[in-house]
Structure 1
Amino acid sequence: MNRFILEKEVQQFIKANRERSPTEIALKKSPFPNVSSAELASQIDGWQRSVKKLPTWAYSEGIYYPDKINLEQCSSEHTALIKQTLISKGSRVIDLTGGFSVDSCYLAQEAHEVIHCELNEKLSEIVAYNATILRVPNLICKATDGIKFLEESDDNSFDYIYVDPSRRINQGKVFLLEDCEPNIVAHQDLFFRKSKYVISKLSPLLDISTALSSLKHVKFVYVISLDNDCKELLFIQERGYLGETKILAIRLFADQLQSFEFTYEEERATLSRFSLPKHYLFDPDVAINKAGAFKSIGKAFGLGKIHQHAHLYTSDTLYPEFPGRIFEIKQVLPYSVLKKNNPFSQANIAIRNFPEKVDVIRKKHKIKDGGKTYLFFTTDVNNQLIVIECNRIF
């Protein structure tokens, strides 16, 4: 950590140039003897990456930004807010894999104390400094291995263990839970000796059922999306819990939050109702689909499903609270009609259980992207290829 970056003149320069290209800054001679052009560019790049993802950091004077990989891997403030609701006020928390501390800082707003463990000494120093700027005095930074620190702590030292296992090992990505670092499957007994609760942030690519077969005492699984992009899975384990796991799909969009709760037992016991397209079309958010609520969501809103594998729903009744996009259907065409006489020159195209890809459809039928019209290319309950023309209303 180069503390010359924190000098008033350097900070003024960064602020005055933060809208410029970091590459442009890096290629010019630095006006400061103790701060390189690359360092100036890195700070500007850090600010630009944080504006939408971490606005509290971006608009706090004097924040020191780490390497871009640390910003890429950290949580957004939107998802950190969800984690903040999962702990009790006044609790003691340890973050085993601290990183840039976004989650730790939000947990600290509820906790009595959060121990932030980070192997990277430089990053740990940056986090400790930023905690003073952000006025988070109960964030205690330890430049150490979180597992080792936990092993040396007394049993029941913490109320919550928070861990975000690294999915990058030896420059490559891993996808199995047991291959991540730390291996939370192997350390479960250790975790439950030291804490009653374990909160694990896992990859959205992870298969939930597979993880449930590896982890003990899972009380909740949170599937969190932001603007229809699945961001992370949270597994909440409670020592001794033997009940059924509750699945919560959390949709964050336009500063709003929608949630849908179900269990896999309920999902298995539910029968879908199938229907040809009616007046409204309902397209579930990615969190609903990732969670696997394919039948439960239809039952909850009394919707008909267009096809078993399409995951599109329909009704003559409008349900504005549905967690996903909602469309008014204008017409339904057999795909064969489009082959002979295409009436659409421009449209937003989506495919659901359809044999052709979007780019192939656009090229074949000369349909430009954009406009107010939405076309869903899918298969109906009679196994016929159809095109649903609609306008989005929510």
Structure 2
Amino acid sequence: MLNLKILEKKVQKYIQTHVGDKIPELVLKGSPFNEIKNIDIIEQIESKSRCKSKLPTWYNTPSILYPNKLNIEQCSSERTAYYKSTLVSGENLIDITAGFGVDSFYFSKKIKNIISCEVDKKLSEISEHNFKTFNTKNIRNKALNGLNFLKKTETIFDWIYIDPSRRGPNKEKKILIKDCNPDVSKHLNLFFKLSQNILIKLSPMVDIQAVIKDIVNPKKIHIVAVKNEVKEILVVLKKGFSGETTIKAINLDSEQPNFEFKISNEKKLVLSYKPPEKYLYEPNLAVIKAGAFKILSRKFKIGKLGPNTHLYTSSKIKNKFPGKIYNIKKVIPYKKRNLNKIIRGTKANIKSRNFTKSVNEIKEQYKLIDGGDIYLFFTSTQLNRVVLVCSKI
């Protein structure tokens, strides 16, 4: 049961004052309020601290209630929640695994009526309070199992959204679709009985080929990164869709363009490989996760360095590339003795791509110092191992 005394001004002021403080020190201090347990105040401080950049609307709004830090860790960021909202339209949507309600909140800006289901009663009450604080009036909260609700309802929805729990009974992380709760692959008939459109959020670690195999014939898979860190895999299903799945790689909060392709086009391409030329291209991690390797080379007319090296090169610059572009200053064959004389003690940004040593091993071996404007790519071409001395464009 929620202790609403947490919302009193003096308590809220205390929470805000101690956001970012060391939790062990706050634990030792104890609660300054007789009617509120210290564990409840600590939970608010710790969770609010985690929302500063992830959920700035929540963080900057007075009188918001927060769940435990694990719920904050598992919920979508505002940036990715907004992106999801651009994928849906219509009159009604049901979120059957709502959690802290971030996705439901952003869906409510695009869809007229939202049903937000969360089996954890306390978490559902927290979300309902926050929706009222935001003056959001088109979300109906239901503190129940969303899957069970679907089994009983006769309502037809424009969209069903599922973000399966990726935690086991001992809070261990789960990645495979079959290990998540619910296992969406087992309930597709139920979903399509009630909606033409399904949106599923999966772990960024999930294998894309496994998704296509386990969730038969997705219409589109979105690989969503934020500032070059893959955050979510979004699967769009359309009832009756019989075409080939489109893969879309997105790197939010960057100026890099999105990249779309079909896996069959990737598989059928045969490439010849090129040695380093004037420019080097490093795809963003959403593109890498998507598996767009050969097709990227063909699309931008840039040479791939080697079959397992996902770096590209050209003599003329190709703008609007979904990743970073570098100017190659020098190509050094990887010969340990000569290389030691050339780069030992250099200040540079080190990258290891399809190479036998990790970044840390390379730094240690050559006593390299992090930073500066120089980038050293330790990598492999089709013929040999090289070090590419580059500057970013």
Common fold, TM-score beyond 0.5?
A: yes
Q: Does 1:311 align with 2:290?
A: no
Tell me, yes or no, if the aligned pair for 2:340 and 2:366 is still in contact at 8 Å. no
Q: Deviations over 1:223-261 (max 9, x none)?
A: 01111111110110001110111110011134x563111
**Deviation for aligned residue 1:273:** 4.1
> Which structure 2 residues correspond to residues 345-364 of structure 1 after superposition, within 5 A?
345=345, 346-364=347-365
Is the CA contact 1:225–1:251 (under 8 Å) kept in the aligned structure 2? yes
Deviating beyond 4 angstroms after TM superposition, the runs of 4 or more aligned structure 1 residues are 337-340
Counterpart in 2 of 1:211? 211
Residue matched to 1:70: 71
CA distance in 2, matches of 1:340, 1:130: 59
TM-score normalised by the chain length of structure 1: 0.95
RMSD between aligned residues:
1.5
Aligned length: 389
Question: Which has the higher mean CA deviation after the structures are superposed, 118-127 or 4-13?
Answer: 4-13
> Which structure 2 residues correspond to residues 1-394 of structure 1 after superposition, within 5 A?
1-88=2-89, 90-154=90-154, 157-171=156-170, 172-254=172-254, 256=255, 258-336=257-335, 338-345=338-345, 346-382=347-383, 384-393=384-393
TM-score by length of 2: 0.95
CA contact (8 A) 1:25 1:40 kept: no
Q: Distance in 1 between matches of 2:115 and 2:344?
A: 58
- Residues 256, 320 of structure 2: 8 Å contact kept: no
Mapped to 2, the partners of 1:373 and 1:114 lie a distance apart of 51
Q: Deviations over 1:119-146 (max 9, x none)?
A: 1100000000000112221111111011
CA distance in 1, matches of 2:263, 2:217: 15
Distance 2:375 2:99 in 1: 41
| 1:16-39 Cα deviation digits (max 9, x unpaired) | 332433332222132211123332
1:185-224 Cα deviation digits (max 9, x unpaired)? 1101000001111101011111111111121341100001
For the 8 Å contact 2:91–2:158, the answer to whether it is kept is yes
8 Å contact kept, 1:219–1:245: yes
Secondary structure, in 3 states, of the residue corresponding to 1:282?
strand
1:23 and 1:195 map into 2 onto residues whose CA distance is 48
Whole-Å separation in 2 of the counterparts to 1:218 and 1:47: 36
Within 2, Cα distance between the matches of 1:35 and 1:321?
Answer: 55
Per-residue Cα deviation, 1:265-306 (whole angstroms, up to 9, x for no partner): 111222334211111111000100110100111111111111
Q: How far 1:84 sits from its partner (Å)?
A: 0.5
Amino acid in the other structure paired with 2:260: E
Residue deviations 1:318-343 (CA, integer Å, cap 9, x gap): 23321111111110101105445232
Q: Distance in 1 between matches of 2:189 and 2:150?
A: 12
User: What is the CA–CA distance in structure 2 between the aligned matches of 1:318 and 1:219, rounded to whole Å?
Assistant: 34
Contact 1:252 1:258 in 2 (8 A): no
Unaligned runs of 5+ in 1: none
Identity of aligned residues (%): 40
